[in-house]
Amino acid sequence: MIAIVNYDTGNIRSVTNALARVGCTDWVYTDDKAILAQADKVILPGVGEASTAMAKLAERGLDTFIPTLTHPVLGICVGTQLMCQSSEEGNAQCMGIFRTKVRKFQPHQPSEEQLSIEKIPHMGWNQITDLRTPLFKDINDGAYIYYVHSYYPELCTDTIATSHYINGFSGALGRDNFFGTQFHPEKSGAIGAQIIKNFLEL
């Protein structure tokens, strides 16, 4: 059984639709610690603002509980950021699972050669490279996945996939039984479906 963490954020329907596409219909949407502890896998989705999302986790005592889980946990987008040490978005102190901080993209200043600055948020298809861990089984280096974000996890020793927009950043993170994708696998077509399938098979 897959437990999707309920903390009043995240695009739950897109996540459950993505699970269904890979044949998984045994899931529950919950903030019950006992259910989260007994689940085979846990998904921490996220859409929204980091400090507000952390407050929602703290209200339920999940900010200190989630790091104690010993079975596979997958964060998606803001869910991944909440598993980092801190975020510049709302000056949030996060769960500290991944040994990195979340920064806001800072566009380069325009020059004569570059007439416009990069757009924020970073939205659309981009590549992931330097892939590590079984989360990326059968995924080619340089595969395209889908991003929608203004903040990013810095590169660190927990980086298991790298992307580049304005600067290099962690497209995905992994440490022990915890994984996180800054991109949206549920919006990333066949590549995203394979990544979700790989997570379910961990």
- DSSP string covering 128-164: EBS--SGGGTT--TTEEEEEEESEEEPP-TTEEEEEE
pLDDT on residue 42: 98
pLDDT grade for 148, boundaries at 50, 70 and 90: very high
**Strand ranges of the sheet holding 86-87, from the earlier edge strand across to the other edge:** 92-93, 86-87, 101-104, 151-153
Q: Convert 124-140 to b/e letters by CB count within 10 Å (16 or more is b).
A: eeeebebbeeebbeebe
pLDDT grade for 76, boundaries at 50, 70 and 90: very high
pLDDT on residue 111: 61
Segments making up each domain of the chain, as ranges: 2-200
Give tens-digit pLDDT for 84-110.
Answer: 999 999 999 999 999 999 999 998 776
pLDDT on residue 140: 98
pLDDT on residue 114: 59
Question: Is residue 23 over pLDDT 80?
Answer: yes
Mean predicted confidence (pLDDT) in 13-42: 96
The residues that are catalytic are: 77, 184, 186
pLDDT on residue 11: 76
CATH class of the domain whose range is 2-200 = alpha beta
